[in-house]
Each structure stands twice: as structure tokens, then as C-alpha cells.
Amino acid sequence: MKTLLFKPFEKYSEKTLLLVGVIFTLIGSFVAYTFNIRFDGVFDVHIVSNTFFYQALLDNLVNIFCLIIFLYISTKYINRKTRLIDILTTSMVARVPFYLLPFLNINGVISRASEDIIQFANPELISQITFSNLLIITVFGIITILFLVWYVSLLFNGFKVASNAKGKVSIILFIISLLFAETLSKFLIFQLN
Amino acid sequence: MFTFVPDEIFGTMKKLPVNCPSCEKSLFVSQLSCSSCETIISGNYSLPILLQLSSEDQDFIFEFILSSGSLKKMAVKIGKSYPTVRNKLDDIIERINHLQKV
């Protein structure tokens, strides 16, 4: 179970991982469209008032593309034998935890809670924020952080397996790759909208 | 992370110690004997590099040969992904290179 959730790249073939990646990218895009979520950056999940399926799919494709570019450059530098398919499957499968997050916004519960909090985000009105909404946002925040950690750990495991990365230099390259991927994805998604 | 069951390959053969249990330095062969005529040869022979590898590495090489040197076939056979198997081979190559230098 631990291998399946955190280290699938050690066990499963690239064909299986690619299939899982494609299926979950489509499901993730559909779920984001259904629950009005935008993945507008490699590490971004935002609730919006309205979204289209093509937007949600494009967001995910841009994020995957940005991850591939920078992770592939880093892994090729670490190990010339690194295959593009392993970075592709890593970038797709690692995002699966993020695709589960929109389910938390069933019936717009998170949207309403956040709107309520924003409405009263004023020192004079702050006492009017209901405890239930505060609790909903806190729980959503904690779950999002946990899923973010799961996402990054999957990315790192895939990165390590694809390149046989060891040592501090590879960790630094991994972090730099993610920062560049996040920056480029935000820029591209902004330009495409 | 990468475990084979040695008994599957080597049966119940005793594990050959390659490092001194006392000071952990490499061991040498100092005596060989014939089980048929009981001739004993004494000397100071170094162990072949392959025998200096861990039993896990030796099992991997054995399995690699049985898979006709195909990492893809081997990955399917032992239920690991291709890059995992390739990384293991690269690690063994690195260890062999290190042993050759020593």
C-alpha cells in the first residue's frame, strides 16, 4: 500500500503509469470543471465562480508540461540515461492527490465558507464570522497541505527513480525545477486566459 | 528496497563472508582443499570481485544473466519498474568500479 501511494514509480511499468496518468488527468479536469476549481499553477488550487472543461484540462496540461520541462533538464543533468517517459509519468501521476481536492467543494461548501470569511474580513466585523465556516476553511487548509506534501513526495520519488538521483545536489536541483515550473505555469496559464 | 531471496537461486548454500567480522577489512583466501583426495593448498589469494559484492548484488547479476541481459525482461520478472532495475545495475557497476580501484 505504501508503494502504491508513495512509490509507484519503483514498481509499476511506464505503460501502467502512463495509463493511470492520462485517466486521472481527464478525471481531474472534469472534477475541477464540475466543482468550479482552477489548477492555475503547478502548486495552485483556487475556487472560482465558474469554469469550463477546456480551461480545467488546459490548466492541467500546462502544469504537466512545465513540470516535464524542468524536471527533465535536471534529471538529464544528474543522469544522462534518464528517459523522458519516466519524467512524463512522474509529472502526471504525482498530480493525482491534487485531483482529489475538488471533491472537498461538493455543493460549494468551501466557496460559501470562504466568501463568508472574506465578507467579514474586517477588524470591526470579524466577530460575525461563524465558527462552522472557520472550521471548514481550517480543515480544507490542513487537508490541502497534507495533499500537497503527498504530491511533492510523489514528484520527488519519481524524480529519484527516473534519474537514480542521490545527494544534496539532486535535492537542490529538484527544488529549483519546481520553482521554475511553478513560475512558468503561472505565466502560461495567465497568458492563455 | 531491492530484495531477492537468495535461497531461490543458491539453494541453502552457506553465505561466503567477504569482510572480516572483527575489523571489517576484506578477507583473503588462505586455504583451499580437495574434498576427494584431501589435498590442501595454502597461500594468499584475493577473492574475485564478483564474490566481494553483497549477496543481493550477486543475486541481481545472476538474475540479469538468466534474463539474457535484458533489463526490461528482468523488470517484468521481478515485478519492478525498468528505471528501478537500471538504477540497481548502475549502482552495482559503481561498486565494481570502486572495488577495481581498491
pTM of the model: 0.85
> CA–CA separation, A17 vs A35, rounded Å?
26
Residues facing residue A46 across a β-bridge:
A38
pLDDT of residue B6: 46
Using an 8 Å Cβ cutoff, are A84 and A65 in contact? no
Chain A CB contacts of B86 below 8 Å: 81, 164
> CA–CA separation, A23 vs A16, rounded Å?
11
Residue A152: half-sphere exposure toward Cβ, Cα within 13 Å: 15
> Alpha helix locations (H) across chain A?
2-6, 8-11, 14-34, 53-78, 84-93, 96-100, 109-119, 131-163, 167-192
CA distance A85 to chain B (A): 10
Q: Over the stretch B4-15, which tens digit does the pLDDT of each residue have?
A: 544 444 455 677
> CA–CA separation, B22 vs A61, rounded Å?
58
- Write out chain A's pLDDT in tens, 193 residues: 888 888 999 999 999 999 999 999 999 999 999 998 999 999 999 888 889 999 999 999 999 999 999 999 999 999 999 999 999 999 999 999 999 998 888 878 888 888 888 877 777 777 777 888 889 889 989 999 999 999 999 999 999 999 999 999 999 999 999 999 999 999 999 999 8
Chain A CB contacts of B81 below 8 Å: 9-14, 17, 161
A164 touches chain B (CB under 8 A): yes
Contact A83 B83 (CB under 8 A): yes
Residue A13, burial from CB neighbour count under 10 angstroms (0-12, 13-18, 19+): middle
> CA–CA separation, B61 vs B89, rounded Å?
8
Nearest to A10 among B76, B81, B90 (CB): B81
B48 touches chain A (CB under 8 A): no
Chain A CB contacts of B87 below 8 Å: 161, 164
Q: Over the stretch B13-68, which tens digit does the pLDDT of each residue have?
A: 677 888 889 998 888 999 999 999 999 999 999 888 998 898 899 999 999 999 99
